[in-house]
């Protein structure tokens, strides 16, 4: 925690304490003030998470190296997905002219390399799942609390943030590109048709039927990478019976809180040297909220949630709309509990 933040917290406590001195010792007002102060200090850790420059300590190095090897591929995956144009024209021509073998072959030759690319994306999601598991093990292991882990092991916290940033970026691109599912559907139909005619195409050697089934389930999701992380986190919780679920969800809620505090505190924001770090921080905040909402039994929007959803949404709405509309839509459409009865009308109104 920086010295300025310590000073601000001490000053705040002193002001509240001085005010309480004027109240009767058993006054409900005094009790409520202390309760509010205690809850705020407990639920909103104030420390700077260095997303730009955090370097691994010796204790972090093994996990950091493992995750780093996966993250090195992330930029390439996003670049490939961003440039994915699909084979829509070739497929349309082949469907409209079923008797034209040349057009059938042209469509097939256009689709096959694209399906190989989709397979690489899917296989990367499996490596990302393993990387997330390693980070969760490191950031939730006793004897430290999640806040202590995030403050002590900032290089791993940064990698966790980078996985979330990649996940939201990938899913945004996938949701706006219908060619992905169209191409894969055409590929599967062609394989099935040739199998009925006792023909086997070379492409089946690379994407066999079992792989095609798994890929089909993956791309059928509106947000496949987020679904992968959500399933991986749920599986991590269920397999670690001795680890309370709160240790995992507290890691997520603490990360969301730290991001919100950094975004709304000028003393922290001025330490960002890269203009993209603000957007990175917002994307990570939204990512952990969504993941928390999928993993926690009652979600992120309930009154008992450890995430200040009003504060997080307000921070987003203070930014230019063109830079945060996609993130607000992610909260609207990819969370699980927003429309539950336990969600307050105020939070729903903020997201309208």
- Per-residue pLDDT of 19-36, as tens digits, reads 344 444 444 433 333 333
Whether 21 maps to a domain, the answer reads no
What phi-psi label fits residue 86: left (phi over 0), alpha (psi between -120 and 50 degrees) or beta?
left
CA distances, 281 to each of 1, 5, 165 (Å): 18, 19, 9
Which range among 144-148, 165-169, 181-185, 325-329 shows the weakest confidence by mean pLDDT? 144-148
**How far apart are the C-alpha atoms of 216 and 218, rounded to whole Å?**
5
| Residue found under tokens 């995030």 | 150
The residue-averaged pLDDT of 265-276 equals: 87
**Distance in angstroms (rounded) separating the CA atoms of residues 133 and 70:** 13
Q: Does 22 reside within a domain?
A: no
**Which among 207, 216, 218 has a CA at the least distance from the CA of 126?**
218
Residue 201 scores a pLDDT above 50: yes
Answer yes or no: is pLDDT of 118 > 70.
Answer: yes
Q: How confident is the model at residue 199 (pLDDT cuts 50, 70, 90)?
A: low
C-alpha distances out from residue 45 to 6, 25, 102, 299, 339, Å: 11, 29, 64, 20, 28
Place of tokens 């002001």: 15
Would you say residue 121 lies in a domain? yes
Residue 191 phi, psi (nearest 5): -60, -45
Residue 242 inside a domain? The answer is: yes
Helix (H, G, I), strand (E, B) or coil at 67: helix
The whole-angstrom separation of Cα 252 and Cα 245 is 11
Whether 290 maps to a domain, the answer reads: yes
Measured between alpha carbons, how far is 237 from 246 in angstroms, rounded to an integer?
A: 9
Count the domains in the chain: 1
Query: Domain of 134?
Result: 60-351
What is the pLDDT averaged over residues 90-101? 94
| DSSP designation for 51 | T
Q: Is residue 50 part of a domain?
A: no
pLDDT of residue 246: 86
Q: How far apart are CA 288 and CA 293, in angstroms?
A: 8
Q: Specify if 219 maps to a domain.
A: yes
Burial class (CB in 10 A: 0-12, 13-18, 19+), 274: exposed
The larger pLDDT score, comparing residue 196 to residue 105, is at 105
Is the pLDDT reported for residue 66 higher than 80?
yes
| Distance in angstroms (rounded) separating the CA atoms of residues 107 and 95 | 9
Question: End-to-end alpha-carbon separation of the chain, Å?
Answer: 36
pLDDT digit string (tens) for 234-248? Answer: 899 888 888 888 888
Residue 36 lies in a domain: no
Taking each helix axis from N to C end, the angle separating 154-175 and 277-295, rounded to the nearest 10 degrees, works out to: 80
Q: What pLDDT shows up at residue 181?
A: 94
Pick from 58-62, 165-169, 296-300, 320-324: least confident: 320-324
pLDDT average, residue stretch 59-72: 95
Give residue 60's pLDDT. Answer: 94
Residue 209 pLDDT > 90, yes or no? no
- Tell me what pLDDT residue 313 has: 96
In this prediction, residue 18 has a pLDDT band, given cuts at 50, 70 and 90, of very low
Tokens linked to 158:
């940064």
């Amino acid at each position: 925690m920086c010295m300025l933040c310590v000073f601000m917290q001490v000053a705040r406590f002193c002001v509240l304490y001085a005010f309480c001195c004027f109240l009767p010792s058993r006054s409900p007002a005094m009790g409520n003030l202390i309760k509010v102060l205690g809850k705020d200090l407990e639920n909103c850790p104030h420390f700077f998470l260095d997303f730009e420059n955090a370097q691994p300590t010796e204790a972090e190095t093994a996990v950091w190296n493992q995750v780093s090897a996966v993250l090195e591929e992330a930029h390439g995956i996003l670049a490939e997905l961003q440039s994915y144009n699909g084979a829509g024209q070739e497929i349309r021509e082949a469907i409209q002219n079923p008797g034209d073998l040349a057009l059938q072959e042209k469509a097939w030759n256009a689709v096959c390399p694209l399906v190989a690319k989709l397979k690489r994306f899917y296989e990367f999601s499996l490596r990302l799942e393993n990387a997330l598991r390693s980070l969760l093990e490191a950031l939730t292991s006793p004897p430290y609390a999640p806040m202590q882990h995030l403050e002590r092991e900032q290089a791993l916290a940064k990698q966790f943030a980078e996985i979330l940033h990649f996940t939201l970026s990938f899913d945004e691109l996938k949701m706006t590109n219908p060619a992905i599912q169209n191409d894969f559907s055409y590929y599967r139909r062609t394989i099935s048709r040739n199998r009925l005619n006792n023909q086997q195409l070379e492409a089946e050697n690379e994407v066999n039927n079992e792989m095609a089934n798994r890929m089909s389930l993956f791309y059928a999701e509106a947000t496949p990478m987020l679904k992968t992380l959500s399933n991986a986190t749920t599986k991590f919780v269920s397999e670690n019976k001795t680890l309370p679920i709160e240790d995992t969800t507290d890691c997520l809620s603490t990360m969301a809180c730290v991001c919100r505090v950094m975004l709304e505190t000028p003393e922290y924001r001025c330490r960002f040297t890269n203009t993209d770090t603000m957007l990175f921080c917002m994307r990570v905040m939204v990512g952990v909220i969504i993941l928390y909402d999928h993993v926690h039994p009652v979600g992120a929007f309930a009154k008992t949630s450890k995430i200040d959803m009003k504060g997080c949404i307000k921070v987003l709405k203070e930014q230019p709309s063109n830079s945060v509309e996609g993130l607000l839509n992610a909260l609207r459409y990819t969370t699980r509990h927003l429309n539950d009865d336990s969600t307050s009308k105020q939070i729903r109104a903020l997201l309208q």
